[in-house]
Structure 1
Amino acid sequence: MSNVVEVKVPDIGDFDSVEVIEVLVAEGDTIEAEQSLITVESDKASMEIPAPSAGKVKSLKIKVGDKVQEGSVILELEGAEQSQPSGKNGDKAKEDKPEAPKAEKADASSSSSGDTAKVEAQGNGQASGQEATSAAGGSATVVIPDIGDFDEVEVIEVLVNEGDTVEAEQSLITVESDKASMEIPSSESGTVKSLKVKVGDKVSKGTEILELAISGSAGGAKAAKSSGKPDSSPDTENQPASKQQAPQQQEIQQQASDSDEKSLADQSAQVQRTSPTQVLEEDNRPLRDLPHASPSVRKFARELGVNLAHVKGSGPKNRILADDVRQFVKQAVAGSGAGTGTASAAGGGLQVLDWPKVDFAKFGPIETKALSRIKKLSGANLHRNWVMIPHVTNNDEADITDLEALRKQLNKENEKAGVKVTMLAFLIKACVAALQKFPEFNASLDGDNLVLKQYYHIGFAADTPNGLVVPVIRDADQKGILDLAKETAELASKARDGKLSPSQMQGGTFSISSLGGIGGTDFTPIINAPEVAILGVSRSSMQPVWDGSAFQPRLMLPLSLSYDHRVIDGAAAARFNAYLGQLLSDFRRIAL
């Protein structure tokens, strides 16, 4: 009989609770020992929690957004050996891993200037090295504290420059392993004299980060003494403190003026210094604005040679996922292939003028408002789709006089049930029938292949206060008009409240954008890639229609079908739109 083991959050340091920002496995997955299960994040670090042993995920106990702490149950693992309590993530981790702040303080203490510590120790015989440095001023070397079980980690960000003034606990660098990224704080306040590391360096416990000039009246004396005076001989160290105190005090006074001059020189040099994080210079990004991605994704990107600054994240809080990196590589490869050859040499590539930079305030009063997150995401997608897909739009009209009468009758019959049938439900049903007759409209391009889908998931554009979103009705071919009416109403409500899940906006095969409740006669809807077509619907209006003997008032609905001309030709689009109009004019045809 297989064992079922509860996998829990191990010791994560001094954090009371951390947020789950990514769940990397699903129920039913088979996982290996040390495979990452979740990613958690605090204000100082993000880390991936690995599995203590191999097995099959029986049930997940947490979700994205949950707050967890040491001992919180992550999941139940079936077929796993019950070795977690003494494993890497159990009590052994607690015993082997001292608290980070204590380790930092101890390392900083042991790395303080030797001469500075000797002066103070000879004065009272009891003060620790770090206390001596803080009390009398001087210089201290800040080193990497205990970082757990990692032999070495990579420096991915340098957060300070030479000449910067830093406070105690201010972050100095960001380091990253294959499981976690963390910021290393300063153990002291002072001015950065020199940096010992740069981006890309491999560091471990005890590696020097920087030399810090400690704030204090005697700081310059200690810095000068530490760099210019050799260590005292053993005989001198054994003399009584009272005999050595006077010469040392004189030396402190003699070096004070030199310290002031050096401080002025440091301030002058600070103005012309360059950022130590040169890798980010090409993106004009602030030092604290690295792309938001987990350590494993960063490692994956480095292996592929991808600059994450150019990758757009699709995860929570715009977090970059592994799939985003893969998609970026696929597009880069496709783009480089398309950009080669004579067409590129002849100017066939897309080359446009830079966007104009205008100071609008000089022409009159202005107000600047940040785009919502939805508009930022949808704007980038719309721009890509418009540039990369050759759009053509076919416009037609459908006589929905009888269909509108049926819709009103159904609403009266189902008034007590609380179901309100809209024209969108009929449009979805009619589009499914048209897609079944013209399958190339229910497809996607994959390189040189056309993927014809055997399922019918219809997306519809929903207008929300924060921007446009596209919920998806799954398996629309298997649902009736009343079912479609209920589901569209529920999804539209969730969209307005901002409660749609990512899964409710994925997997669409064809989309409908309806402006019927607002106005307009025709428009060109932008195709929602990787789909190949989209239907735009404008406001219906009563128009005189010739029936062969006289003009009759008929309710006409404008239909605007945008299609990808790489997949669909004009004749096919005209047939699709005409057939759709026939279905809407006589809905009985759907039963045929």
Structure 2
Amino acid sequence: MTIEVRVPTLGESVTEATVATWFKQPGDAVAADEMLCELETDKVTVEVPAPAAGVLAEHVAAEGETVGVDALLATLTEDGAAAAPAAKSEAPAKSDDAPASSGGAGESVKVMVPALGESVSEATVSTWFKKVGDTVAADEMLCELETDKVSVEVPAPAAGVLSEIIAGDGETVAAGAQLAVISAGEGAAASAPAAAPAAAASSAGAKNAPSAEKMMAEKGISASDVQGTGKDGRIMKEDVQKAASAPAKSAAPAPAPAPRAPVAASDADREERVKMTRLRATIARRLKDAQNTAAILTTYNEVDMTAVMEIRNQYKGEFEKKHGTRLGFMSFFVKACVHALKEIPEVNAEIDGNEIVYKNYYHVGVAAGTPQGLVVPVVRDCDQMSFSQIEAKISELGKRARDGKLSMAEMQGGTFTISNGGVYGSLMSSPILNPPQSGILGMHKIQDRPMVIDGEIKIRPMMYLALSYDHRIVDGKGAVTFLVRVKEALEDPRRLLMDL
């Protein structure tokens, strides 16, 4: 019986992914739920398990290929017949024109742009990892393409010598266009040693993440100098970032150069121009679209954090001992926002065509910084959660975000967002909406300031709050009232218990 392995759901707004690594090869026996391959989207990595036990019969989508949701990735043979894949793998060896066995000049093999996805018709050549004259092994990465959503690596279709590059760095190419030419056969035997150091994890049978390979090539870092933390020692992008930021190894001091007269350099000589990637260009366009589509307005207030800080200092030890998680500020802000959203429901709504959709549930996105950038995991049904449950969930999502383990589902469906620029020292900012949401709260740095309290000047820990909102849905009165309710709940947390 043949069993199909298909691309799982990737999230509401994600329609395609790139096959990063196959952990199993045709002919391998696999157990149910054993990981077969890994897919990469522009935000997360998704592992694909075997739907049943059997033998992997065929790879339908190779490493580096872009696949859509529910696309066929591979097939399994449930009856355990491994003979068919074995026979298939031997077929190339019997072919008279097999590139690997040819000792002559060999044939020319075209390197083509792979399928980019149903809605993607073109890509930009981002980086060539090989140059003309280099020997390449079959399936060795030649170059990387960038689309609006993902990066696609192009492997060599055969072993040989890269004889011509048709589309250079920065050129835009259509799906199915020719990228390069490989002279298959000649030099193929020599290409195997060249490909050997591609990954420190290769001895364990694990291939590095494509994003890691790209970064190592860009930064001139050898895989032997990187400690892989992925599955089976696989090198991930964050491993390369860590290696790049490590102090350089000490070397014998070079002799001091002879003194030279200083040469004046123009401003242009000291500038560096780097073409914007398609991904960065898309992010820029979408942020601008949010500003152009929504009528974004920001209102400000400030909150005295004395009461929250006193409660936190008094109970944090007991809280952590009982619940196994630290008591932070974010649970207070989430609770205060839910309290205010119930009174001002338009801040928890969105526009859909000519209709306003009011959300009678409270899924709060909490922005988190990671080595890959800012992500916004969502804490669902916050109104039904206790302080300890909120803190535990935020801690769990934050760790998964830093480890690059968030799923797309965990970053979808938010109805309101909280962004804490205060952790980076921001004193004041105007956050941009996260469409289609109509509101986002910006938290900022807590700073001691002199305040007039009951006619006396006292030093209080103050924080500026900023609410950016879509003025098409939320009027000024609603926005100001929302922020005042958040302020009141934080300055007197007992109001949350009394639902006041």
Query: Quick one: which amino acid aligns to residue 449 of structure 2?
Result: M
- Other structure's SS at 1:516 match: helix
Corresponding residue of 1:74: 50
Cα deviation digits, residues 400-437 of structure 1 (max 9, x gap): 32232122212143354554212211001111111122
- Maintained 8 Å contact 2:52/2:78: no
The 5-angstrom pairing of residues 75-114 of structure 1 reads: 75-76=51-52, 94=85, 97=88, 99-102=90-93, 105-106=95-96
Residues in 2 aligned to 1:453 and 1:446: alpha-carbon distance in whole angstroms: 12
Question: 2:19 matched to 1:23?
Answer: no
Q: Give the Cα–Cα distance (whole angstroms) in 2 for the partners of residues 380 and 522 of structure 1.
A: 24
1:542 aligns with 2:434: no
Q: 1:65 aligns with which of 38, 57, 77?
A: 38
CA spacing shift, 1:560–1:99, aligned 2, 3 Å = same
Whether contact under 8 Å (2:363, 2:415) holds in the other structure is yes
Distance 1:63 1:433, change over 3 A: farther
1:73 Cα deviation (Å)?
8.6
Match of 1:409 in 2: 314
Per the TM alignment, residue 533 of structure 1 is displaced from its structure 2 partner at its CA by: 1.1
Is 1:427–2:333 an aligned residue pair?
A: yes
User: How many pairs are equivalent?
Assistant: 346
Taking the aligned partners of 1:464 and 1:167, their CA distance within structure 2 comes to 37
- Cα displacement (A) at 1:392: 0.7
Distance across 2 between alignment mates of 1:466 and 1:436:
34
What is the letter of the counterpart of residue 52 of structure 2? E
Unaligned runs of 5+ in 1: 10-21, 27-37, 49-58, 67-71, 78-83, 110-129, 145-155, 158-163, 172-180, 193-269, 289-315, 319-359
Contact 2:20 2:210 in 1 (8 A): no
Over residues 262-304 of structure 1, what are the superposed CA-to-partner deviations in whole Å (9 max), with x where a residue is unaligned? xxxxxxxx9xx9879xx95579x9926xxxxxxxxxxxxxxxx
Label 1:73 to 1:100 Cα distance change in 2 as closer, same or farther (>3 A): farther
Q: Post-superposition shift, 1:524?
A: 0.2
1:491-541 CA-partner distances (Å, limit 9, x unpaired): 333333444333332322211111334434421011122222100012233
Cα deviations by residue, 1:140-194 (Å, 9 ceiling, x for unpaired): 98799xxxxxxxxxxx99xxxxxx99989889xxxxxxxxx997548x98x99xx
C-alpha change, 1:377 and 1:465, in structure 2 (3 Å) is: farther
TM-score by length of 1: 0.46
TM-score by length of 2: 0.53
What does residue 453 of structure 1 align with?
Answer: 359
- 1:14-413 matches, within 5 Å, as 23-24=7-8, 60-62=33-35, 64-65=37-38, 74-76=50-52, 94=85, 97=88, 99-102=90-93, 105-106=95-96, 134=104, 185=158, 281=173, 287=179, 362-363=267-268, 365=270, 381-413=286-318
State the identity as a percent: 31
SS at 1:563's partner residue? Answer: strand
Q: C-alpha offsets along residues 180-230 of structure 1, whole Å, 9 cap, x if unaligned?
A: x997548x98x99xxxxxxxxxxxxxxxxxxxxxxxxxxxxxxxxxxxxxx
* 1:413 aligned counterpart, secondary structure: helix
Amino acid in structure 1 at the alignment position of 2:179: L
Q: Distance in 2 between matches of 1:375 and 1:402?
A: 42
SS of the aligned residue for 1:429 comes to: helix
Question: Aligned equivalents of 1:168 and 1:487: distance in 2?
Answer: 47
Of structures 1 and 2, the larger Rg is shown by 1
Unaligned 5+ segments in structure 2 are: 11-16, 27-31, 40-47, 54-75, 111-121, 124-131, 140-153, 181-208, 212-264
CA contact (8 A) 2:138 2:156 kept: no
- State the shift of 1:464 in Å: 3.1
2:442·2:466 contact (CA, 8 Å) conserved in 1?
yes
CA distance in 1, matches of 2:339, 2:438: 17
Partners of 1:73 and 1:524 in 2: how far apart? 43
| Aligned 1:495-574 pairs, distance under 5 A | 495-540=401-446, 541-547=448-454, 549-551=455-457, 553-574=459-480
Tell me the distance in 2 between the aligned counterparts of 1:416 and 1:85.
51
Instruction: Give the letter for the 1:462 counterpart.
Output: A
Higher relative contact order (CA 8 A, sep 6+): 2
Mapped to 2, the partners of 1:536 and 1:456 lie a distance apart of 18
Partner SS state of residue 396, structure 2: helix
- CA deviation vs aligned residue, 1:246-268 (integer Å, no higher than 9, x gap): xxxxxxxxxxxxxxxxxxxxxxx
After superposition, the Cα gap between the structure-2 partners of 1:101 and 1:577, relative to the gap in structure 1 and judged at 3 Å, is same
Partner of 1:472: 378
Does the Cα contact within 8 Å between 1:390 and 1:565 map onto a contact in 2? yes
SS in 2 for 1:583: helix
User: In 1, are the aligned partners of 2:20 and 2:38 still within 8 Å (CA)?
Assistant: no
Q: Distance in 2 between matches of 1:493 and 1:25?
A: 23
Superposed displacement of residue 467, structure 1 = 2.6
The aligned counterpart of 2:187 is: none
Q: Map 1:474-489; keep pairs closer than 5 Å.
A: 474-489=380-395
Does structure 2 conserve the Cα–Cα contact (< 8 Å) formed by 1:393 and 1:562? yes
Over the aligned positions, Cα root-mean-square deviation in angstroms equals 5.6
Output the amino acid matched with 1:410.
Answer: Y
CA contact (8 A) 2:137 2:156 kept: no
Q: How far apart are 1:364 and its partner, in Å?
A: 5.4
The 3 A distance-change label for structure 1 pair 63 and 437 is farther
Contact persistence 1:389–1:564 (CA under 8 A): yes
User: Alpha carbons of 1:545 and 1:378: their partners in 2 closer, same or farther (altered >3 Å)?
Assistant: farther
Query: What is the CA deviation profile of residues 352-390 of structure 1, one whole-angstrom value per residue up to 9, with x for unaligned ones?
Result: xxxxxxxx9854546789999998886665444344433
Is 1:441 the counterpart of 2:414 in the alignment? no
Q: Measure, in 2, the Cα distance between the counterparts of 1:415 and 1:140.
A: 69
In structure 2, distance between residues paired with 1:435 and 1:185: 59
Structure 1, residues 533-573: CA drift from partner, whole Å, max 9, x if none? 100012233332353x5555544331100012222222221
Offset of 1:443 from its aligned partner? 2.3
Q: Separation in 2 of the partners of 1:403 and 1:562?
A: 24
- The amino acid across from 2:96 in the alignment is A
CA distance in 2, matches of 1:512, 1:464: 16
Distance of 1:165 and 1:515 partners within structure 2: 50
Higher helix share: 1
